[in-house]
Structure 1
């Protein structure tokens, strides 16, 4: 018996019609097919990979309604606005609606006027919504930001834990789809278990965001470093993440005082004010937001060109989520982390306070904090460090991070490392890194003298070095795996088998020192790390020239390097036209067109609807709604660029010309 091959709806035509793309991105076809087959799915895909398309296209062809569980009102508004622009009937049900508006939207939903409805997880438990849901034909439930079901996300939205119970209570269990950008092995297991996914299709397309440039800096003055960065990126849209509400307020005010328009966003700001601030940012009325982690999850603003971290976050999961809000349109963007010595202690305090009744979770969160700390101090490729944390194989070098583009010098620290090894082995019990630093320096603190640790043979072995130099040595040995740190609140340090082997075999131990751009010009410069061996400075000056040339050659320009001055000028005009259309339509500019689409228009300079329709991101609705305005902008620009004598023939496609003989 021959099994008839299943026929699928025209999903590729839908992709072109509604989204303006000719082909799917990696992972999208497999997930769409699984959902159309009625199978649960878990998609772990990087920001900008097109997760929403994976459930929106099946929703178009499914007979009933798709519910999308989304964490933030702003995300719902963005997604619904873009769907309606593409003429896919969609709505959101959340607290931003008045009682009358909510009742009307719910009534329309009951009449099957919408294919996709966005709701917050808290909405699922309300009697009015439950009554609607039990009567409606719900074909699919899509869970966005699905990592929120895991323990590290529950503090943000604990109601994510109620989703599986809600689905099970419906007359017919819908197909379940879960999506997230970042999930380690334990988080993935939590999603599968807590959402009760049935034999799901699991697809991980990778975590890499090639368009993002990563950098880590430890400036003496963080605020000056931020201002220096902003001066080099005028008018660009960016987010500055801070650890605390107080930092957020202070940074926003200082930036305004320095001439950089910025507003503060955190959970303590009244909800009406927060909504207004977010709208101002979405509509490009203000370019900068200083925010805590309360801002940004699920934000679909595609033209964020940079994310700056004013302090080290508490985990790589949190960092990559926040940094990932840059460059969602696929164009180059930058993620810069500024950190200082106080960041670790602040994070540790926050973690201990939030987990005082949960020792197991405290241990896990401290372990994540340690890896975040290691990221800030590693000399390896930053992108590879992140990807390996999420168990993704890497080449070890990306040529698009501050470590890969820097010039390094190997420093022999064998003598200092041997002193550290001897001290740790001599201690009567393990101690933390700060105690080791004080012992090596020869400090006579009360804890040291009362325990008679000042009587040890290794006490003061590195007393000729300053504390910063010893700290850098210990950090380097931890990063290179010669020392390990416990994951409990004490974080005691111990030697590893690799350190045992190196000492036993009398191996040379080296650590890498990054040559600094400004300090290297001064031949008296010796970093605290270098003072462990006091190397000759003379090779540094020529090495600096190599580093500058390497950066200029390899580092991508975050301001969209166009090929000609004419393309730059046209891109500026297109952005002006987009802003005008945005204000006329009451939509954020990036909903009208993302930056990447305008960039392609500027490069290709289409003159006909046919040519414009070939640009990625130009679907049928965008072509009809904005095609005339865009084409007129291009034509007027070319006319101004030339002698102003363009005729109708200049706007014909090749098919319009008669090339036959007379």
Structure 2
């Protein structure tokens, strides 16, 4: 039987599939050719099969390093159910059981052996090159201080390649930004590893971010017609999981709280109820969902902002695995940012985690297509708006920002892609500070080309370009900005750029429907209302409504919800959040 026939026969026999998913076959082929590799495959992409199938076709045992002791037994049970000999080796076993596993390994009776990184040192003296066909490192981001879940025990994995130079090492992770991808290869001593980057684009997920005010009423409204649908609400604190689950039950929803404070039996019971559709809603800390392959989760809500984009992506990725339309909703407030900053204090990789938190905040505040921002973070450069996020459905006002974008990209280029955001802004603004002068940046051509734009505004435009995939941040290299292929299109091929308006100065327009004297002062009243809402929500005023939207309200004087929806800059989401208060303000103003 040929290798190809053997491959597809085993795929059907042991896994029940007729064909491979994207990237799977290329990874299997590389491992069969004994090549080192790094595979970035989003949750639900079928990464386990990529090392399980080659293990069946190669001489010896595949050693799989996995951090999730609680799931090892499930993974081994699933393999055995598929007719594949497998075992695990970790601290939950007695010494006699561990010896039994080693004996099976010596006698070549197991094809896959799962081991916890903390137990690897005990196993290594018992490993011989002739017994092993490959090393698979699952959740490989744990080896990198840049990774979102750094595990010190993973740092010893670099010696595998040193001790067994002929054995291929395959690193797998669902989420790793460009910096972490490079660091994984370096730490595992596989610098020439072939990279397999699967697409992170989950087109069926609607991405939405709302200000973190009145969260519970908003959640109840969101769930109004979703009583039978499965969903997860993620919270930062155990206390909130209990409180929200209780409120939902009081309102007639079936919901349970899940957190580390519960007994393992209780957690297993809750997880089982969710997987088997007995409990549709779980309110959980981030511990929930690891290893759950439930395809019909229809929505995921983040009650608090996650600490990094990797975690956020992994958590929203638990919805819509069946490919059907699903909703993701993130509540964002500056209070969450402060709390998350406090959590990172004194952590061993504090600098990295703060940089990732900044990037998560920038995503939450993005005014352009959220999917572009998300995909760019993982090194997947796309330029077309997705049409399936809040910013695409109800976009802010845009202007032609091509010239400003060219100035910013040119500054990054002339600074040799070595400087972080703040220095780039200083140079563009023509700042006369010591840092600029000590590096003689006042002599470069782009010095001062944006001096007519406020410092904070230039910074916001740079962040927009990062979110649009024009610029990239290298966190592990002091936050320096780099140009992406898209930036080169803008600089050299005249590609157009749209930037969201931060503050629009609108000239007074003659009123068509009302005498100007009648509305004198309405604009200021609306601005005051906007300011008070912005303070409540801890967001900049323009996030609520732009000046242009307020001017249009002043011009149209809407009296009903349908009239308010006709105002420039008002979409369904903003109408739901703010419509009633602004209509009331206009009505009261006209009464006076």
Normalised by the length of structure 1, the TM-score is 0.60
Q: Could you list the runs of 5+ residues in structure 1 that have no partner in the other structure?
A: 1-5, 356-360, 413-420, 431-469, 489-507, 514-522, 550-662
Structure 1 residue aligned with 2:483: none
RMSD: 4.4
Secondary structure, aligned partner of 2:224: helix
| Structure 2 residue 411 is the aligned partner of structure 1 residue 395 | no
| Structure 2 residue 172 is the aligned partner of structure 1 residue 179 | yes
Distance, in Å, in 2 between the alignment partners of 1:258 and 1:156 is 39
| Structure 2 residue 114 is the aligned partner of structure 1 residue 118 | yes
Q: Could you list the runs of 5+ residues in structure 2 that have no partner in the other structure?
A: 401-424, 435-453, 476-498, 505-522, 531-540, 557-562, 574-592
Highest Rg: 1 or 2? 1
Indicate which of 372, 382, 393 corresponds to 2:360: 372
The Cα shift of 1:144 comes to: 1.2
Secondary structure, aligned partner of 1:227: helix
Distance, in Å, in 2 between the alignment partners of 1:334 and 1:93 is 39
Structure 2 residue aligned with 1:229: 222
Instruction: Please say if residues 27 and 203 of structure 1, whose CA atoms lie closer than 8 Å, have aligned partners that are also in contact.
Output: yes
Choose between structure 1 and 2 for higher RCO, CA contacts under 8 A separated by at least 6 residues. Answer: 1
Instruction: Please say if residues 66 and 114 of structure 2, whose CA atoms lie closer than 8 Å, have aligned partners that are also in contact.
Output: yes
| Structure 2 residue 44 is the aligned partner of structure 1 residue 48 | yes
For 1:159-170, what aligned pairs fall within 5 Å after superposition? Answer: 159-166=153-160, 168-169=162-163
Query: CA deviation digits over 1:47-78, x for unaligned, max 9?
Result: 22221221111111111111222222354344
Structure 2 residue aligned with 1:305: 298
Structure 2 residue aligned with 1:510: 501
Normalised by the length of structure 2, the TM-score is 0.67
C-alpha distance 410-186 of structure 1, shift in aligned 2 (>3 A): closer
Query: CA deviation digits over 1:558-610, x for unaligned, max 9?
Result: xxxxxxxxxxxxxxxxxxxxxxxxxxxxxxxxxxxxxxxxxxxxxxxxxxxxx
Q: How many residues align?
A: 464
The Cα shift of 1:257 comes to: 4.0
C-alpha distance 427-173 of structure 1, shift in aligned 2 (>3 A): closer
Distance, in Å, in 2 between the alignment partners of 1:111 and 1:386 is 47
Query: CA deviation digits over 1:203-222, x for unaligned, max 9?
Result: 21232222322111125211
Structure 2 residue aligned with 1:18: 14
For 1:283-298, what aligned pairs fall within 5 Å after superposition? Answer: 283-298=276-291
The Cα shift of 1:247 comes to: 3.1
Structure 2 residue aligned with 1:405: 393
C-alpha distance 96-308 of structure 1, shift in aligned 2 (>3 A): farther
Instruction: Please say if residues 280 and 286 of structure 1, whose CA atoms lie closer than 8 Å, have aligned partners that are also in contact.
Output: yes
Query: CA deviation digits over 1:223-274, x for unaligned, max 9?
Result: 2222333333223333222223333343344334444344444444444544
Structure 2 residue aligned with 1:64: 60
The Cα shift of 1:108 comes to: 4.2
Distance, in Å, in 2 between the alignment partners of 1:163 and 1:254 is 46
Structure 2 residue aligned with 1:536: 552
Structure 2 residue aligned with 1:143: 137
Structure 2 residue aligned with 1:319: 312
Distance, in Å, in 2 between the alignment partners of 1:27 and 1:89 is 25
Indicate which of 358, 369, 388 corresponds to 1:381: 369
Q: Which range is displaced more, 57-66 or 147-156? A: 147-156
Distance, in Å, in 2 between the alignment partners of 1:148 and 1:232 is 39
Structure 1 residue aligned with 2:152: 158
